[in-house]
Amino acid sequence: MPESWSAPAPAKINLVLEVTGRRPDGYHEVDTVVQTLELNDTVTLSFDGGPKVTAAGPYAPATPCDETNLAWRAAAALARLTGNSLDGLSIALDKRIPPAGGLGGGASDAATTLRLLERAWENVTPSSLAAAAEAVGSDEPALLLGGTVRARGRGERVTPLAHLHRHGVVLLIPRDTLERKTARLFAALDALPFDNGSVSEAFAAREPHRLSSADVYNAFERVAFDVFPGLAALWEQAEHATGEPIRLAGAGPALFWIGEERRAAEVAARARALDCDVVATATAGSLWRR
């Protein structure tokens, strides 16, 4: 057996995010199109008996390194489903995705951990991978596939879409976030009419095409200004500075621009005077889909 397995865990944005209803169990139904990015963490697994989870990189301080870490939870879920042992397993994370911004860093670490364990354990099946991803969270099933993916239900019903043409993406990341932000956003949406899935359906029916930020839809934008203090001001400043439409990334509070790759450096340069972190990246296909 090799001593270790390593792979990137990409950040994501939501090109479409519709909230279509509230379930009897208290969760919400979504219909979303997830797109992975070149910006990534790196996950390395080994069975050398080291600490269970370690984190390095610029965003390591915000990363839990105990059994609450999503990558470890994913490994534990897959071990339960397949009968494998976690004895000696060590997960090393190089954290380059800003945390708690709606960019899916922790969920992507979990999905990549599952894919690496698929290499390490001979009895892992597609159904056990999918079940483990669903057990951990809502973004993990889509990130298990990577690229451009439509996800419905709680996120567990995933359909791979043709890969989007390569686009430039500029991320604008506020330096503060909120506790329980996603729950607060869903609660705020409960007072408004739900979406019907038509935007995701139309997106999935189209051939891969060129996008701009004006083509993006995110239901949370209807309530984000009320939930995140200062976000409305940053959003307005970002659109004024860049001259471009700016959108909310997932459950936020990160914002993003998407468009022609050749324009990303220019948009990023215009945004650097704002009171936020600015990261220029690009859309990316899937490492796992064949």
Burial classification of residue 101, based on how many CB atoms lie within 10 Å of its CB (0-12 exposed, 13-18 middle, 19 or more buried):
buried
Entry pTM:
0.95
For 189-216, give the DSSP string: HTTSPPP-SHHHHHHHHSPS----GGG-
Residue 155 sits in the same domain as residue 177: no
CATH number, domain of 68, equals 3.30.230.10
Residue 239 sits in the same domain as residue 127: no
12-64 confidence digits (pLDDT tens): 999 999 999 998 888 899 999 999 999 999 999 999 887 899 999 999 999 99
Q: Taking 80 as the threshold, does the pLDDT of residue 2 lie above it?
A: no
Whether 123 is in a domain gets the answer: yes
Whether 215 is in a domain gets the answer: yes
Residue 70 sits in the same domain as residue 132: yes
User: Where is the domain boundary, 130, 160, 190?
Assistant: 160
Chain-centre distance for alpha carbon 109: 10
Q: Which residues are catalytic?
A: 12, 139
59-104 confidence digits (pLDDT tens): 999 999 999 999 999 999 999 999 999 999 999 999 999 998 999 9
User: Where is the domain boundary, 100, 131, 160?
Assistant: 160
pLDDT of residue 208: 77
Angle at 250 between CA 270 and CA 257, to 5 degrees: 20
The domain in which residue 104 lies consists of 4-160
Whether 287 is in a domain gets the answer: no
